[in-house]
Amino acid sequence: MMSMKCQNLDFSRLGPDFAAFGFSYNASFDRYMIGKRCNGVPRAVQNGYGAQRLFCFRQDIGATEASIEGVAPIPAPLEEVKTGSRSPISLVNLFELVADDLIILNNNLQSIVGADNPVLMSAAEQIFSAGGKRMRPALVFLVSRATAEFVGLKDLTKEHRRLGEIIEMIHTASLIHDDVLDESDMRRGKETVHQLYGTRAAVLAGDFMFAQSSWYLANLENLEVIKLISQVIKDFASGEIKQASSLFNCDVGLDEYLTKSYYKTASLIAASTKGASIFSGVNSDTSEHMYQYGKNLGLSFQVVDDILDFTQSTEQLGKPAGSDLAKGNLTAPVIFALDKEPKLRNIIDSEFCESGSLDEAIELVKRCGGIEKAQALAKEKADLAIQSLQCLPSSSFRLALEEMVQYNLERIE
């Protein structure tokens, strides 16, 4: 199910070219497309994040043909990545280094989840095909490859791959339950699982995925990783509770917000990156740096998400805008704004009982610099993340990891 919009064909012939895997938000699950190589014609693909262009280069290594079914040859690490004129970073660009790893992952996920039951299968389809970026597994694969270089590992191990699957299952399960807990109807522009199939199916689908991921985790037989990931699952639950307990609570401070963001978002990402490095067999300092990278990237990511909830439209978000605030979930922009604007507190305390008060609150947040301060916070965490990558040797993978951080920040430029 391909849908590519081609614009601005660019010719380029730089060293090893590679076919990029792009996806558009409106495609379904099989959307990791492989641009078929046609001699000399690269394609640009427009993806959902507002007209960012992906430059696709074609592979110039023997008679290689990328096909959707087959597994494309893993591109050799690039000596340098030249993208010609600097365009905004796109995820696709970043992921192309690990694109076939992601394809394998997608196939495995579908078969793991869908095997038992048609309703589960549909529920899985619903959530798996609803435009997930696969950022977490991509991080696992990028860190795996970046650290593998370090120790001379030539290819990903099956533990690396399984870790990617586990992480994505846990993430997806948490989304399904989150939507039940938040009573959300829409996610990524589509109806949520529980909206479509009912609460029972959503609870069951989430439980099933958590259970599957626990089982696969146990069978990785690595105690350190088992403990790492179990901590994450515990953190998820704690994060939900923390959030549920402090709705509409204007006394929530920045630290508490960061703790909650750690529990809900950064913990999993940190465990992904650390876990990947553990399976590469690097020393514990490096693993710790990978943890810090993941953690700060995760925090930065969450802050950006929270900003976008104010600055993007419903259409762009795939769900109602301002929904965090509407539900009483006070995030970075609001917390900063509350410092400046006492009126905001009153409105929030009223829990938006008056019509128009939510819009007024959003305006206040925007007007008094809440967004800007949150942006600064996101940048601060991003810088910490970049710093943690210093321990890795330069490579296209490390570059991609840095660009992940940049990509995230660009979402709010």
Binding site for other proteins (CB under 8 A): 116-117, 119-120, 177, 180-181, 183, 199-200, 203-204, 207-208, 210-212, 214-215, 217-219, 221, 223, 226-227, 230-231, 233-234, 236-238, 240-241, 244-245
Min separation Cβ 242 and other proteins, Å = 8
Which lies closer to other proteins via its Cβ, residue 109 or residue 405?
A: 109
User: CA distances (Å), 360 to each of 249, 250, 331, 374, in order?
Assistant: 18, 16, 16, 19
Min separation Cβ 285 and other proteins, Å = 23
Query: DSSP letters along 301-364, please?
Result: HHHHHHHHHHHS-HHHHTS-TTHHHHTT---HHHHHHHHH-HHHHHHHHTTT-STTHHHHHHHH
Min separation Cβ 108 and other proteins, Å = 16
Min separation Cβ 171 and other proteins, Å = 14
Is residue 220 a contact partner of residue 226, using CB atoms and an 8 Å limit? Answer: yes
Residues 413 and 405: their CA atoms lie apart, in Å, by 13
Give the number of C-alpha atoms closer than 13 A to the C-alpha of residue 105, restricted to the C-beta side. 29
User: Which DSSP letter does residue 263 get?
Assistant: I
Min separation Cβ 39 and other proteins, Å = 49
Min separation Cβ 135 and other proteins, Å = 23
Beta strand extents in 8-104 (DSSP E only): 21-22, 33-34, 44-46, 53-55
Min separation Cβ 271 and other proteins, Å = 12
Which lies closer to other proteins via its Cβ, residue 209 or residue 337?
A: 209
Which lies closer to other proteins via its Cβ, residue 106 or residue 212?
A: 212
Phi-psi map region of 369: left, alpha, beta (phi>0 left; psi -120 to 50 alpha): left
Which lies closer to other proteins via its Cβ, residue 169 or residue 290?
A: 169
139-149 burial: b if 16+ Cβ within 10 Å, else e: bbbbbbbbbbb
Name the pairing type of β-strands 44-46 and 33-34: unpaired
Which lies closer to other proteins via its Cβ, residue 138 or residue 229?
A: 229
Those residues with Cβ within 8 angstroms of residue 339's Cβ, 6 or more apart along the chain or in another chain: none
Which lies closer to other proteins via its Cβ, residue 155 or residue 224?
A: 224
Which lies closer to other proteins via its Cβ, residue 187 or residue 398?
A: 187
Min separation Cβ 267 and other proteins, Å = 12
Which lies closer to other proteins via its Cβ, residue 51 or residue 218?
A: 218
Q: Which of 146, 162, 171 is nearest to 105 (CA)?
A: 162
